[in-house]
Amino acid sequence: MTGKPKLFGTNGIRGIPGKDYTLEFFIEIAQAIGTFFKKAPILIGYDGRNSSPTLSKAVTSGVLSVGLDVYDAGLLPTPALQFAVRTLGYKGGIMITASHNPSQYNGVKVMGADGVEVSRQQESEIEEIYYRKKYREADWNTVGEAYSETKAISNYLQGISKKVDADAIKRRAFKIVVDLGNGAQAVAAPYLLEKLGCKVISLNGQVDGDFPGRGAEPTPETLQSLAAAVKATRADLGVGYDGDGDRSVFCDDKGVVQWGDRTGALLTDHVLSKHRGGKVITTVSTSQVIDHVAEKHGSKVIRTKVGSVDVSREMIKRNAVFGLEENGGCCYAPHIPTRDGAMSTALMLSFLAEHRQPLSKLLASLPTFHQRKEKIECPRSKVQGVMKALEKKVSGKVERIDGLKIWSGKKAWLLMRPSGTEPVIRIFGEAESKAELDRLFDQYLPVLRRAAKNG
């Protein structure tokens, strides 16, 4: 709606309850979501944040008030809720979570009947209902009824085990260190890994809304205790999840924490070996190492805007088999075309079981690209003008999927895109040589800085 602030960001609605959003807001946005869904039942679940139980009750009230029945799935990972919506006959789902954000944040993710986050267009429809206050209000005798859903987690673990060769994994009896980060996968992933015959060593395994272990975001910096534990125990693999368990970041047997595009390339290789000619979806900012692997299998990589919703929706549109982001989000369509940390872990184990080589060796077989990331401050009001000014200065092959992606030859690129969450423009580049990468940054960074300064 023009003139009204957008509520949905890159991934759902997020903010600090009590500061950015009142409790009434959560009731009303749930009324809007319920009005949008029209049909029942709706499944509601939440992550381990301190504000989650309260917000879940507010959201439940909102949905009941528009006359829809609600089932409470309790505390679980986001992908477990999504899989339950898809497979247990729900007409929609709402997850109370702020994913990897710090503990004071919370928010909602909204899933359609297929378990996938609603599309950008549908997000706008929900916002429109919210701003116009056009809620369907049920009478006292037609309000919805509230029930419990107790099978969501067992259904999820079973669903994942069926998508991999569990016997082949069991035969290898892998040792795996799992850093649950006090997040929601603590109630699911360790049980899955035990089911797959792994010897499991858990770190930060108690759900705790303050995320006292290492924070809710898994990155090479925050996963250093995982890396140390993998080395100390001589484990085959380490894995760390984000707060709501949809992203997984892997650590190899040498104790090196890997970014998602390199481990994602191995998973792409594994998936395409089982689904010949399958399509792969990833964002404009993911490394071309994915294309390298896909080419080997005669498959095509299709790029989207940055954001997992865009990846998932494009997967459905193109009937793609695999989707990924460089932050460790992987979507395996035969399971569900949304990010799933536990499914990705099972795929990694399946890959390792098949290749009989340590992960560090398998990673070394991939081509290496140099990468560099920068950002410059730019107030939101100036962003469009700056990007327009920049557009006049670029030459050669340019892609406009999200921001500007400038290619230099076939294997070097620079992506400049306004952030969806902060008042900055991000600059991300990749090339085969460091010299080529620095040359691209030297060419465009001053142009961007000047444009931002002059506004």
CB of 51 to Mg ion, least distance (A): 17
Task: Using the minimum distance from each CB to Mg ion, give the nearer residue, 123 or 217.
Answer: 217
Task: Using the minimum distance from each CB to Mg ion, give the nearer residue, 99 or 258.
Answer: 99
Candidate residues 242, 252, 314, 402; the one interacting with Mg ion per rule CB under 5 A: 242
Q: Give, as ranges, the residues between 84 and 123 that touch Mg ion (CB under 5 A).
A: 99
CB of 97 to Mg ion, least distance (A): 7
Tokens of 429: 């580049």
Task: Using the minimum distance from each CB to Mg ion, give the nearer residue, 60 or 99.
Answer: 99
Nearest by Cα to 251 from 367, 175, 342, 360: 360
Residue 244 sits in the site that holds Mg ion (CB under 5 A): yes
Residue 82 sits in the site that holds Mg ion (CB under 5 A): no
Given 99, 285, 299, 308, the catalytic residue? 99
Task: Using the minimum distance from each CB to Mg ion, give the nearer residue, 28 or 244.
Answer: 244
CA–CA distance, 13 with 398 (Å, rounded to integer): 32
- Strand pairing report for 146-148 and 92-96: unpaired
Starting at the edge strand that comes first in sequence, how are the strands of the sheet with 248-251 ordered? Answer: 199-203, 175-179, 237-241, 248-251
Residue 253 sits in the site that holds Mg ion (CB under 5 A): no
List the end-to-end C-alpha distance of the chain, in Å, as a whole number. Answer: 26
Stretch that binds Mg ion, among 2-10, 218-226, 244-252, 398-406 (CB under 5 A): 244-252
**In contact, 105 and 11? CB cutoff 8 Å:** no
Q: Is the dihedral of CA 116, 119, 120, 126 positive or negative?
A: negative
Residue nearest to Mg ion (CB): 99
- Full DSSP string of 385-399: HHHHHHHHH--SSEE
99: annotated active-site residue = yes
Residue 261 sits in the site that holds Mg ion (CB under 5 A): no
Stretch that binds Mg ion, among 151-159, 199-207, 234-242, 438-446 (CB under 5 A): 234-242
Helix, strand, coil percent content, the chain, rounded in steps of 5: 40, 25, 40
Task: Using the minimum distance from each CB to Mg ion, give the nearer residue, 47 or 252.
Answer: 47
The residues of the shown chain that bind Mg ion, judged by CB under 5 A, are 99, 242, 244, 246
Supply the residues annotated as catalytic: 99
